[in-house]
A and B are shown apart, each in its own frame.
Chain A
Amino acid sequence: MNLDATWSGPGDRRGRPRFTWSGLLWTLIYPPHGQRILPTVPGLVLIGLAFGIGTAAYNSASNILFITLALLLTCLVLSGVLSWLNFRGLRWRLQLAPQLRAGHDTVVALELANLKRVLPTYGLWFEFAARPVTAPGRAHADPAGAGSGRAVRAALARAEASEQRGRTSLPRRLDPWGEARVEWVIRPPRRGRLRVELASVGSLFPFGFLRKDLGTDLAEEVVVWPAPAAYRWHPVATARRTLGHERLARAGTGGDLLSLRRYAPGDSHRLVHWKASARTGTLLVRQFAQESAEGLSLWLRTDAGAWPRPEQFELLVSFAASVAEDLFRAGRLLDVAIDAEPPGPVRRVHELERLLDRLAYVQPRSEIDGTVLPPAARHNLITFAPDGARGVVALIDGQLVAAA
Chain B
Amino acid sequence: MSPRVLHRPELSADELQQVRWLLGGLLTLLGVGTVVYMDIEAWTLMVIAAGATLAVLYRPGLPARLPAWVHTLAFPGIVAFFAADLWLKAEVLPAMVRLDMLLLLYRSVTYRRRREDLQIIVLGLFLIVVAGVLTVSLLFALHLLVYTACALALLLVVTLGDGGAPGPSGPVVPGETPAWAQGATWRPLLRRVRAVLDWRVLLLGALLFAGVVGVTALLFLAIPRFQLESSMFLDRIITKKARSGFTDTIRFGDVSEIQQDNSVALSVDVSDQGQIPSAPYWRMLVLDAYADGTFRTSRGLRHQEFEAPQTGTQLRGTLRPRPGEPVVWTFFLESGVSRYLPLLGPFESLRFRDVQNVSAAPRLAVLALRDEPVSMTAYRVEGFDLSPALPDPTFAQAWRRRQETGARTFLQAALPEFSRPADRAALDRALAAATDGQKLPAGEFARRVSEWLKANHGYSLAPVIPGGDGDPLVRWLVSREPGHCELFAGSFVLLARAAGFPARIITGFRGGSWNGYSNNYTIRNADAHAWAEIFDEGSGAWLRADPLAVAAAMEHDTNRGEAAVAARLDRSWKARLDSLRVFWYRRIVSFDQQSQVETAAAVKDAATTTVRALRARLVALSSSLHDWATAPWDASRLLTVAGGLAAAAGLAWAWLRFGRDRWSGWSRGRGGRRGDPVRREAGRWLHLLSGYGAGAEERQAVIADLQRVRFGPQPTWPAPEKLFRRARQAWRDLRRQRSAARR
Interface positions of A (Cβ within 8 A of B): 40-42, 45, 49, 53, 56, 58-71, 73-75, 77-78, 81-82, 113, 117-120, 122-125, 167, 169-173, 175-179, 203-209, 211
Contacts and interface: CB of A to CB of B under 8 A. Distances in A.
16 contacts: A45-B122, A62-B233, A64-B589, A67-B132, A68-B125, A70-B219, A70-B220, A118-B667, A119-B204, A124-B164, A125-B165, A203-B164, A204-B162, A207-B152, A207-B159, A209-B155
B121 to A, nearest CB: 8
Contacts of B201: 118-120
B216 to A, nearest CB: 5
Contact of A204 (B129, B166, B211, B212): B166
A61 B592 CA distance: 8
Nearest to B595: A63
A322 to B, nearest CB: 40
B159 A59 contact: no
Contact of A77 (B5, B144, B215, B232): B215
A69 B148 CA distance: 12
A167 B166 CA distance: 11
Given A71-B148, A118-B667, A176-B5, A204 B133 contact: no
Residue from A45, A68, A177 whose CB has the most chain B CB atoms within 10 Å: A68
Interface stretch (B24-32, B222-230, B628-636, B712-720): B222-230
B204 A75 contact: no
Interface string B74-99: 00000000000000000000000000
Interface string B123-152: 001000100110010001100100010001
Contact of A118 (B2, B148, B155, B200): B200
B164 A125 contact: yes
B223 A179 contact: no
Contacts of A173: 10
A40 B118 CA distance: 12
Contacts of A119: 201, 204
B5 A175 contact: yes
Contacts of A208: 114, 155, 158-159
Given A67-B144, A172-B10, A75 B152 contact: yes
Contacts of B155: 42, 206-209
Interface in B303-352: none
A64 B589 CA distance: 7
A65 B133 contact: yes
Given A61-B225, A61-B229, A66-B220, 11 more contacts: A42-B155, A56-B232, A62-B133, A67-B141, A68-B132, A81-B208, A82-B208, A118-B204, A170-B164, A206-B155, A211-B166
B8 interface: yes
3 nearest interchain CB pairs? A123-B164, A70-B219, A207-B155
A309 B368 CA distance: 98
Given A60-B232, A205-B159, A113 B133 contact: no
A184 to B, nearest CB: 14
A177 to B, nearest CB: 5
Contact of B216 (A61, A74, A81, A176): A74
Given A169-B165, A177-B5, A211-B166, A71 B216 contact: yes
Given A68-B129, A177-B2, A207-B152, A74 B212 contact: yes
B742 interface: no
B156 A206 contact: yes
Interface string B1-23: 11011011010000000000000
Contacts of B166: 40, 204, 211
Contacts of B178: none
Contacts of A206: 152, 155-156, 159
Contacts of A63: 220, 588-591
B300 interface: no
B683 interface: no
A60 B220 contact: no
Contact of B163 (A42, A66, A123, A178): A123
Nearest to B140: A64
A198 to B, nearest CB: 16
A177 B668 contact: yes
A270 B667 CA distance: 48
Nearest to A172: B10
A58 B228 contact: yes
Interface in B149-198: 152, 155-156, 158-160, 162-166, 198
B23 to A, nearest CB: 13
A211 B162 CA distance: 14
Contacts of A124: 164
Nearest to A54: B223
Contacts of B8: 175
Nearest to A179: B1
Given A42-B155, A70-B219, A204-B165, A175 B7 contact: yes
Contacts of B215: 70, 74, 77-78
A169 B159 CA distance: 12
Contacts of B162: 204
Contacts of B141: 67
B444 interface: no
A122 B164 contact: yes
A68 B152 CA distance: 14
A149 to B, nearest CB: 32
A178 B1 contact: yes
A173 B667 CA distance: 18
Contacts of B163: 123, 125, 169, 171
A122 B156 CA distance: 10
Interface string B30-64: 00000000000000000000000000000000000
Nearest to B593: A61
B354 interface: yes
A117 B589 contact: no
A78 B220 contact: no
A71 B588 CA distance: 14
B669 interface: yes
A38 to B, nearest CB: 10
A49 B211 CA distance: 22
A263 B61 CA distance: 55
A70 B148 CA distance: 12
A45 B122 CA distance: 9
Nearest to A73: B219
Nearest to A78: B212
Interface in B271-296: none
